[in-house]
A = this chain, B = another copy of it.
């Protein structure tokens, strides 16, 4: 395979050259343990401080509200379990949605086994929760609302500021998983009344294995990983200095160039969506038409199955995804696509194209050229398509 066009930036991004260059010295030269007394460790302490500031600035938080973790999954686990443990004497009810990432859903299910009650809010056909439902779901013993900023499969962005307002009015802590939104969407934790926010570096051209949790000053949250006194005694473990430095640089770059990048990416994405919908019959766009991530196109094709589609695309040098990469180990249809009301078969036949910095007009032209044939080929194999065609003859 000569050509390889990557259309799966929501699964992960390459670490950009600029980011990697910032990281390298911290592997081999400034490698000291930042907790040490001697002066060479000071460079690392400073590097971490700088990264903390870069992350804080991007989301309008204060430096001492940023706590580095091993990624978005750990941040989600910490936020939810940490609040549950801190506030269980106040109440044991948590509100989340049906379309959260598994890092949130499986954590909530874990807490259910421990005696917590969890309300999983429905979403509409575009993947948005209803603010009215949210208000109705809040009870005396509700201690946490966890609603993701933007969805990883269908790209839908929630009304975060409204949710923050409701949470504040009702005195409930508000956590949002912003792993997908970070870097491409404007985030202001103060203005949006966000108490906790999960982040991950590898979705924005930073390294894998590092993320952060924003914890608003004053929010009581138990430590989750116990041990040394790192991260102000809140997250133990020798700091991943190169990773943290890379995260800082990556988030700074993402927000420095956000508006420009967004324009470019939206144009490409709209070309993908329009091109597919116009050229492939029985296809539909999943997610919200406008309130969606700039780089996300999620489209369902009736009568075909996603894995087959991905393999055929792969043979033609195109990397894409069908639902979240994290769940590809699973055989169940995507819980997100089910939640927006797709029938089983349609949920199976979905394609997620997520664009990134290396993608060009030519890449999109190529995709639009090969995709209709591939879909047709799979449909020709499909008994569902056969039945449908016979019915409509």
Contact = CB atoms under 8 A, between A and B. Distances in A.
B321 A36 contact: yes
Nearest to A232: B329
A77 B4 contact: no
Interface stretch (A99-107, A156-164, A275-283): A99-107
Nearest to A246: B27
Contact of A102 (B107, B228, B311, B327): B228
A357 to B, nearest CB: 12
Interface stretch (A59-67, A181-189, A203-211, A385-393): A203-211
A328 B236 contact: no
How many copies of this chain does one complex carry? 2
Contact of A36 (B24, B102, B208, B319): B319
Nearest to A236: B73
A302 interface: no
A329 B227 contact: no
Contacts of A314: 37-39
Given A31-B14, A200-B238, A227-B101, A325 B209 contact: no
A8 B33 contact: yes
A13 interface: yes
B36 A11 contact: yes
Interface in A75-122: 76-77, 101-104, 106-107, 109-110
Interface in A169-228: 200, 202, 207-210, 225-228
A241 interface: yes
A208 B307 contact: no
Given A31-B14, A31-B15, A70-B74, A310 B226 contact: no
Interface string A223-244: 0011111100100111111110
Given A73-B236, A330-B229, A1 B208 contact: no
A226 B71 contact: no
A325 B36 contact: yes
Contact of A307 (B32, B37, B41): B37
A131 interface: no
A28 interface: yes
A51 interface: no
Contacts of A207: 27, 240, 242
Given A227-B73, A228-B73, A329-B229, A36 B8 contact: yes
Contacts of A240: 70-71, 207-210, 243
A169 to B, nearest CB: 30
Nearest to A322: B37
Contacts of A15: 27-28, 31
A12 interface: yes
Interface in A306-327: 307, 310-311, 313-314, 318-322, 324-327
Query: Across chains A and B, which 9 residue pairs bring their CB atoms closest together, nearest first?
Result: A209-B240, A228-B326, A70-B70, A103-B227, A73-B237, A229-B329, A106-B226, A11-B33, A14-B31
28 contacts: A1-B39, A6-B32, A8-B32, A11-B33, A11-B36, A12-B33, A15-B27, A15-B31, A20-B27, A35-B326, A38-B311, A38-B320, A40-B319, A70-B237, A71-B237, A71-B238, A73-B226, A73-B227, A77-B227, A102-B227, A106-B236, A110-B226, A208-B238, A209-B239, A210-B240, A229-B326, A229-B329, A243-B243
Interface of A: 1, 4, 6, 8, 11-17, 20, 24, 27-29, 31-33, 35-41, 69-74, 76-77, 101-104, 106-107, 109-110, 200, 202, 207-210, 225-230, 233, 236-243, 307, 310-311, 313-314, 318-322, 324-330
